[in-house]
Chains A and B, each alone.
Chain A
């Protein structure tokens, strides 16, 4: 469907086009079963940033306040990229891992499901 407008060929700027982010792209990162962080966070990251650097620098800044964070076994973390199961290569860039502008990364930590296993 298309919008009905007062004049023909109505369109406007895509407010969040990747060009507007000064060389970065937006990446959303959420941690399943940890509702203490009620939603995924949004981060402006260089597309060339290695996935390993995201784990080392971005993810702790976002989630390390949770007591489960210190107990994460990073070898066992399961990742979802835009809803699909995903095996990131840590020394490859976001771009080369298929993480595009406004991609959503979800982190699943088996055995760690929030305070007292409550999903919080």
Chain B
């Protein structure tokens, strides 16, 4: 039997009120692959990964992870996805009432029922893997800079050795050097875990660095997919416009026309 992809999404739809965010999206991610989904703000990138993570329920469609459909999001599906995956949130989403090490060890203490001592050792190990000293573990998240918070978020995501990692805009709000540090850490940690990774970003430098493949999301569907070195010559005007960050092009035209008909 041929091996099925780690994640296979078919005909995924999600609507909020009148806003059709996902309109029949298809996407496959092979095991051990790092896929980056690019697209403008509000195109549904976050909605896509929240559907896969069972944080948002799709209206229809199929999301198969290791061959099992999780789109109905039963309690069992949710448990399975939480066990398999780790997520780095855009705002890091650290628990601000806890120390840094407790954040990293959170899953180990509360879900995996490790002793606090064991969990703490693992947390300090994970902090070291993202280049943070053990003393940082004693601080609270509010005392950290944005870049450090992202690193702690990454440490928390990898603490339970997940099979699938999700990164939501990992470099947003960081200076270019810190962004590159985060990109390097992501590449390194994903490789070390042998994990499958799905990232969403609109930062092209980040996308080129962490992607095995890049997919572009536009109007609720994947309109192009290819290797990072192919993206310069994608032959797709919308991808071209996005990659080169031009205001003029098919995407902006669409926005303007919508705006005019509404007003």
Mutual binders A and B: no
Which A residues are within 8 Å of any B CB, using their own CB?
A: none
Which B residues are within 8 Å of any A CB, using their own CB?
A: none
